[in-house]
Structure formats: C-alpha cells, structure tokens
Structure 1
Amino acid sequence: MVTECCISGFQWDGTPIGSEGRIADNNAYIVGDSNKVAILVIADLFGWSFTNTRLLCDAYAAETPATVYMPDFFGGQVIDPAIIANTNRWNEFDLEEWSKQNAKDVRWLEILGVARALRAKYDKVGVIGYCYGGWSLFRLGDKNLNGLVDCISTAHPTWLTRDEIDTIGVPVQICAPEIDAAFTPELKAYANEVIPTKGVPYDYQYFHGVEHAFATRGNLEDERERRAMVRAKRAMVAWMREWLRGED
C-alpha cells in the first residue's frame, strides 16, 4: 500500500543543466567542474532522473562548489513523476515490490562501490541523501569505514535504524520535518541523544509544520513549504562548504 508521504508532493519547473554519464558501474546525473570536491546525492524513490532532485544537484554544484553525482541506484526503474500530482494513480506504484527490489542488502554494495570510486578520484567527498538516501549515507559515514566520506547530510531519512545511528563517524547533518511517519519522533529523539556522544560535529535542523519529502517535493506556491525547502537547501550547502572546503 502506497502511503501519502512516499509519493505525494509537487514537481517543480526548471531545466537541469548537467549531463548523464557514468560513475563506477552506474548511470549518473553529473553536474559541476571541480576536480577536488565531489558530492554524492542519493535520491528518494523518484530516482536519478527526477527534475526536482536534478535541480537541487545543480544548486549544490554551483554553491558549494563541487562536482555532483546522482547515480541510478534503482536498476533503471523510473517512476512517472506525474503520479505525484494525481492521487488516482497512486495504485499504479507497488511500494512493497519496489522496496524488495531496492532493499538494503540488494543495493548496499552498489552504493559503497560508487562512494569508493569517488574517494579514489577526489580529495573531498560529501554525501547528501533524501528519504531512501538517509539510511545509506549513515552507512557510508560509519566509523568502521575510516573516513570513506568526509561528511553527510540527510533530509527526511527513511529506513534509518538505531544501529546505523550508533556507528556514525563523520560530521552529520539532519534536516527533519515535524510531520514524518518514517523519521518518527522517537527516532528523532534517539538521534539527538546519541549522535552528540559520538565525538563528531552534528547539526540538527527542525522544520516546523512541514511533512516528509518537503525538501524534494515541496509546494513552491505555499510560503511555508517554499521557505522550508529553501532553508534546507541553504543548510545543506553550508554543511558541504564547511566540511569539504573549510568554509561557512
């Protein structure tokens, strides 16, 4: 059963300026021209071709600046973004089957391989992840990977566990909406209790009155959602600049 937070929201107008290429064994949206700093963006279930997330990649590339890679981690499966605005079409998408095809044990080595390829090529590597990207970037920031990535930032993470929070070993930022069935109040509280004990820089950004997916599918015609989306983008850029370039 598809829930509203998984596929609701709005598609934004705009034309992404990057190109499609490859990283490791994955197709990827690539934008930016830095040869020292890279950002890996791990998309939500709308994947690497979704216009909204590509526009965000463009912003991260220009404002950090960095070369940004958003790979296809879903085996070529693409959801029609028109589903977002049409609740009558939600039954076209089988979330349970999608979750099986893209489960952690299915995609983790693929995600790890891309991160290792970026580390081999760039001096600094940050990771930004939305929804599905939330659990995976915490794993990439695991202390046992010895600094594979330099920092992570997530908005409305999904599938994130306490165990993954427990092993964080790099600077971490969370952009958390007030209303979120995936990143629950209990998990928010756990993150805020545990991460400050891990000896890593931590930035927790709370977004009153907005819901899961606000950072990637917010309604730009709604002032509260628009301001929250812009604030999240600015916060993520600042986090990347601080830990990848030593700038605030």
Structure 2
Amino acid sequence: MSRNTRTVREPEIFECAKALRSQHKYSRIGAIGFCFGGWAVFRLGAKGVQLVDCIVAAHPTFLEKKDIEQINVPVAIMAPEIDSMFTEELKAYSNEVIPTLNVAYDYQYFPGLTHGFATRGNPNDKSEMEGMERAKDAAVLWFRQWLRNSGKIK
C-alpha cells in the first residue's frame, strides 16, 4: 500500500484523465473505481478538478468525508452490506451529503455481500454472482445515461 498512496498515485491518475481529453480527444469521460480506486474516482470528479463527467465507485476504500463533500459530477455508489472499508458511517454520510450537492446520485445497496463483491465474487456462490451482475448492469446504465453525447457513447 505504501507505493500506492494518494500522494504517489493521484498525479498519475490525473495525468491519465487529462491525456484522454487532450491527446485522445474524448469529449465525455466516465471513471469507475473498485476498492482502492474508489477514492480516486471521487477525486477525479471533485470540485475544481472535474477531469471526468461522471463516476461509479464500488466498495470504495480509503474514501474520506472530504472526498464525498467535494464530488461535483454524477456519482453512483455500489455498497455491500458488510464492508470494513466503506463503513456504515461513510455510507450514511454519503447518503446525507451527496443529495445536497446538486449532482445526480444513485446508491445501490447489496445486502449480504461483502467488500470486494463487484470484482472478486465467488463464481460458486449464486448471490455473489448475482451481485456482480447487478453491479455491472448498474454501472453500464449509469455510464450510458451520463456519457451520451449527441446520441453516441464516446
């Protein structure tokens, strides 16, 4: 984890997002962050940064209240019931603060599932596989909704 701190990775993540617009000329960009990537997508969509047009975060890790307070693009969160990283306190804080920020917000709750469900679901566990599928479908729908540009997804 020490080589993947915010201080180390944030500048690289920001440069990547900037390059998508400047070098590759994408007009609309969405970002999805699983686990450790959760804080990063919130930063990409933060006030004064806004390097992306919408975000999805699934079972975010190291997300801080200030990240939640600063979001300024449409945000979807996929939250498992059992998660020591995206705590009950952070879940409640997200649901309290984000609706006051004048951004589109979708909160998806996954009862019975644990941290990592959207990327590491057990293929032999029906509820985990259904959770992974539901999370994927919700993310795709979110991106389709917020990344449309003249009827085309970029």
TM over 0.5: yes
Counterpart position of 2:82:
179
Q: State the partner residue of 2:139.
A: 236
Mapped contact 2:14–2:51 kept (Cα < 8 A): no
Q: Root-mean-square deviation (CA), in Å?
A: 1.1
Partner of 2:36: 132
Residue by residue, what CA displacement relative to the aligned partner does 1:57-109 show, whole Å, maximum 9, x if unpaired? Answer: xxxxxxxxxxxxxxxxxxxxxxxxxxxxxxxxxxxxxxxxxx11111101110
In structure 2, the partner of 1:108 is 10
- One-letter code aligned to 1:141: G
Does 2:66 correspond to 1:163?
yes
**5+ unaligned residues in a row in structure 2: which ranges?**
none
- 1:63-78 matched pairs, under 5 angstroms: none
Q: SS in structure 2 opposite 1:124?
A: coil
- 2-side partners of 1:156 and 1:148: how far apart? 21
With the length of structure 2 as denominator, give the TM-score of the two structures.
0.93
Matches within 5 A, 1:2-81: none
From 170, 180, 194, the counterpart of 2:97: 194
Q: Paired residue for 1:205?
A: 108
- Relative to the length of structure 1, the TM-score reads 0.58
Larger Rg over CA atoms: 1
Q: Does the CA contact (< 8 Å) of 1:119 and 1:149 recur in 2?
A: no
Amino acid at match of 2:19: A
Identity of aligned residues (%): 57
- C-alpha contact 1:126 1:151 (8 A) present in aligned 2: yes
Where in structure 2 are the equivalents of 1:131-150 lying within 5 Å?
131-145=35-49, 147-150=50-53
- Please tell me whether the aligned partners of residues 55 and 76 of structure 2 are also in contact (alpha carbons under 8 angstroms): yes
Aligned length: 148
Equivalent pair of 1:153/1:174 in contact (CA under 8 Å):
yes
Classify the secondary structure of the residue corresponding to 1:182: coil
Match of 1:6 in 2: none
Q: Where does the alignment leave 5 or more consecutive residues of structure 1 unmatched?
A: 1-98
**Which ranges of 4 or more aligned residues in structure 1 deviate by more than 2 Å?**
none
